[in-house]
Structure 1
Amino acid sequence: MQHLTARVTQDARVKTFENGRSVVNFKVVKNRYYKNKEGKRIEQAEFFQCSYWRTAKIAPYITKGQVVELLGEPSADCYIGIDGKPVPVMRLKVNEIIFHSAQKKAEEKSTDNTNKNTAESSDDLPF
């Protein structure tokens, strides 16, 4: 199981199958920082395609810009792009989602530099 805190890059989509089972699909991005050989700080975005099979009722809450904490099973895939080069794809089969309130830009610029992201109570969600 992998634990991942990331930002949703597009609103969730629900796909319902003929047997009545549904899956919620969405994408997230996590920024990773490291220093190169010269000591320069590098930022690299890592994108994940996520699927959540437990309930489709969660889909309206997974919106672009939302910060989520995910626990799930990662896998890697690859396909050939239009240019003929392999394109890696990271996937995450999500078992658990924890929602965080979005941090406003004004708060980011505040002088107290406190982290205002807090997990929302699971009592507020209808599932």
Structure 2
Amino acid sequence: MNITGRLTRNAEVRILSNEKQVVNFSVAVNDSYRNKQGERVEQTTYFDCAYWITPNVAILLTKGTLVELIGRVSTRAWVNKEGEPRAGLNFHTSQIKLHGGSRRAETVQAIEQSENSGFTAQGIEDDLPF
């Protein structure tokens, strides 16, 4: 499944008890439709996202960044402290594409490939003259 939206906060890297690292971030996906009265209705859906492949992409995932994600959706339900039932959507991300600049998209691909090939992503710099 693909979703496209904007990050609602900067990504965070968490280290789990088994020493695995996961990048957590949240994405807002905007949609609109016309109801029976012909009025335009705006709707926003929020996804809590997890990315397990490499924690290095967290530096690129900042609030407001437009991203296209490939992965799968799951739901979760819980009862909050006040005893009210709550629900949310998780998106288990397998690929990330940044929009708004081809250089940033290339950087994500380079980071993902470096993780698979054993190289580090520290050598990736922006070589623009300004």
State the TM bucket, normalised to the shorter chain.
0.7 to 0.9
CA RMSD in angstroms, aligned pairs only: 1.8
- Per the TM alignment, residue 21 of structure 1 is displaced from its structure 2 partner at its CA by 1.1
Going by fraction, where is helix more abundant, 1 or 2? 2
Structure 1 residues 62 and 40: alpha-carbon distance in aligned structure 2, compared to 1, 3 A threshold = same
The whole-number CA distance in structure 2 between the counterparts of 1:86 and 1:19 is: 31
Identify the residue that residue 107 of structure 2 maps to in structure 1: 124
Residue 85 (structure 1) aligned with residue 89 (structure 2): no
- Per the TM alignment, residue 37 of structure 1 is displaced from its structure 2 partner at its CA by 1.7
The normalised TM-score by structure 1 is 0.78
Structure 1 residues 60 and 9: alpha-carbon distance in aligned structure 2, compared to 1, 3 A threshold = same
- Where do 5+ consecutive residues of structure 1 fail to align? 102-117
The normalised TM-score by structure 2 is 0.76
Residue 20 (structure 1) aligned with residue 7 (structure 2): no
Identify the residue that residue 72 of structure 2 maps to in structure 1: 73
- Per the TM alignment, residue 33 of structure 1 is displaced from its structure 2 partner at its CA by 0.5
Identify the residue that residue 64 of structure 1 maps to in structure 2: 63
- Where do 5+ consecutive residues of structure 2 fail to align? 112-130
- Pairs aligned (count): 110
SS at match of 2:59: helix
